[in-house]
Amino acid sequence: MSRVAIYDTTLRDGSQGEGVSFSLQDKLLLTNRLDEIGVDFIEGGYPLSNPKDAEYFQAVKELPLSHAKIVAFGMTRKKNSSAEADTGLKALVEARTPVVTIVGKTWDFHVTNVLGTTTEENLKMIADTVGFCKAQGREVFYDAEHFFDGYRANPEYALQTLQAAANAGASVVILCDTNGGTLPERIAEVVQSVKRELTCEVGIHCHNDCELAVANSLAAVRSGATQVQGTMNGIGERCGNVDLVSVIANLALKYGFDVLKAESLSRLTETSRYVYELANMNFRPGQPFVGQSAFAHKGGMHTHAVAKDPATYEHIRPELVGNERRILVSELSGHSTILSKTAKYQVNHDKALMTKILSAVQDLENQGYEFEAAEASFDLLVRKTAKLHKPWEVDKKLLYMPWFERITYRVNIEARENGTPVTEATVRIKVGGKIEHTASEGDGPVNALDGALRKALVRFYPRLDEMQLVDYKVRVVNPRAGTAARVRVVIESRDGTDVWGTVGVSENIIEASWLALVDSIEYKLFKDEEARG
């Protein structure tokens, strides 16, 4: 079984999609998640394009990655210049990634009309750039932009650009269907032709303008490509890039190729949904393999047949990709997910408890909760339902009480004479029978509530000082309700060792934020208690 390398460019090419923006923390979190499942190469961005990308390449060095290689992306040197003097290439080398990807022009039309140079100078630009990066000790991939258009217009010159990169030291040349307009049979034909002319490896990079990016990428691999570039969920400019989720599932399950880590295919669904949450995008219910509707059956002969044998209406078992079967007419969904997520607590032998947890999850999801990017909130639900937390000793009796009890909170926003709003939050809580009443100012309601709550708790739980909020996302759950709509708030928090997500839902955005905030602090307390044993 041969290996196909998966090259993820969600953090660069994916972020070029309309409405997509990743914070630095988002980029680091996603890097960790992609590394965990066995993605081979993670393209972090272009070091010279913006400060965030430059910061990423510094921060990512601190991540304890176990598999993936980080890639910095850049362009060929400027025309009529030298690679050594090019500021973009200097930034690329200073990123100190083991791999760099260079994009260059393949189509002579682009060379003369966009770059404004000669075809001969373009070949020198490619060779000089690849050779320079190679001499700096980097593995070099070469992205042949608009390759299929260039090959159609001038096949001889298009091949010369690839050979210039390969001869200068590129280990892989990637054929890019940049405009997304090529058909699968043409992809296969051209990849086969290129393979006969080159000694280095060949990769494929497809866009989805004809909704053929997955088919095109699979055709390329079947014709000899050994690397697939794309993005999670296919996010990207215009109609998007190829969806790596579908590519990975098809390569592994339909063709038998070796991709990711052996045990990671079952994490595709959670990874897909994690990316949607980071990008603050809605899930695509009908997304192949990982969508909520991918294995949903409703009414009539479908549900009858699936009850007898799921293979009657399912092309694979949903659990292979971490998804689950949903029988919509009877709402018999979720058991497999609950069982898998509670396995670490060793309580999933208790059927009554599993039913209780499942019922709670279904009730919350009906209200608008989603736990894919808020696993800490789900963890708390399980712990509290199963009474897994450490009890308090009160009057020599063990009582399962919360870490703290919420009594009231209040948020006041006041506009000063200069127009600057000032937010103050006041909270009253009870800890072990003692009532604490504190107030704090903040940049906004959530910041003020966080400050007031921690001020009240920190003398009881000093390690809360280690914790900080790193991200905050809001999504309307039922937009048709207008200003009375419910909102879902997801908060990401971190301490010195972990990052976790919590969720709250309410018609009131402050209440939803408060619920997510309280969960975040409670999870930190549970986590620290567990670490102490």
Q: Mean pLDDT, to the nearest integer, of 25-30? A: 94
In the predicted structure, residue 43 carries a pLDDT above the cut 70: yes
Q: Name the residue among 285, 217, 290, 293 with its Cα closest to residue 257.
A: 217
- DSSP 8-state assignment for residue 77: P
Q: 499 versus 315: which is more confidently predicted?
A: 315
Sequence-ordered alpha helix ranges (H) in 63-183:
87-94, 108-110, 119-135, 147-153, 155-168
In the predicted structure, residue 480 carries a pLDDT above the cut 80: no
Q: Name the residue among 325, 292, 315, 275 with its Cα closest to residue 8.
A: 275
Q: In whole angstroms, give the CA distance from residue 479 to residue 482.
A: 6
In the predicted structure, residue 399 carries a pLDDT above the cut 60: no
State residue 313's pLDDT score.
86
% residues pLDDT > 70 (the chain): 90
Would you give the end-to-end CA distance of the chain in angstroms? 44
Band of pLDDT at residue 431, cut at 50, 70 and 90: confident
Instruction: List Cβ neighbours of 150 (8 Å cut-off, separation of 6 or more).
Output: 105, 106, 107, 108, 109, 110, 144, 157, 158, 161
Q: 451 versus 342: which is more confidently predicted?
A: 451
In the predicted structure, residue 489 carries a pLDDT above the cut 80: yes
State residue 398's pLDDT score.
47
261-265, 390-394, 423-427: the lowest-pLDDT one? 390-394
Q: 396 versus 488: which is more confidently predicted?
A: 488
Mean pLDDT, all residues of the chain: 88
* C-beta of residue 417 within 8 angstroms of C-beta of residue 433: no
Strands (E), 308-419: 326-327, 392-394, 397-399, 405-415
5-19, 222-236, 429-443: the lowest-pLDDT one? 429-443
| Strand 99-105 relative to strand 139-145, pairing | parallel
In the predicted structure, residue 396 carries a pLDDT above the cut 60: no
62-66, 211-215, 498-502, 514-518: the lowest-pLDDT one? 498-502
% residues pLDDT > 90 (the chain): 64
In the predicted structure, residue 167 carries a pLDDT above the cut 50: yes
The pLDDT tens digits for 240-299 are 999 999 999 999 999 999 999 988 999 999 999 999 988 988 888 899 999 988 988 765
State residue 370's pLDDT score.
81
82-96, 125-139, 275-289: the lowest-pLDDT one? 275-289
Secondary structure (3-state) at 513: helix
State residue 242's pLDDT score.
98
Q: In whole angstroms, give the CA distance from residue 56 to residue 47.
A: 8
In the predicted structure, residue 347 carries a pLDDT above the cut 80: no
In the predicted structure, residue 238 carries a pLDDT above the cut 70: yes
State residue 330's pLDDT score.
35
State residue 285's pLDDT score.
85
Q: Which of 192-201, 281-290, 439-448 has the highest mean pLDDT?
A: 192-201
* C-beta of residue 174 within 8 angstroms of C-beta of residue 204: yes
- Model pTM? 0.71
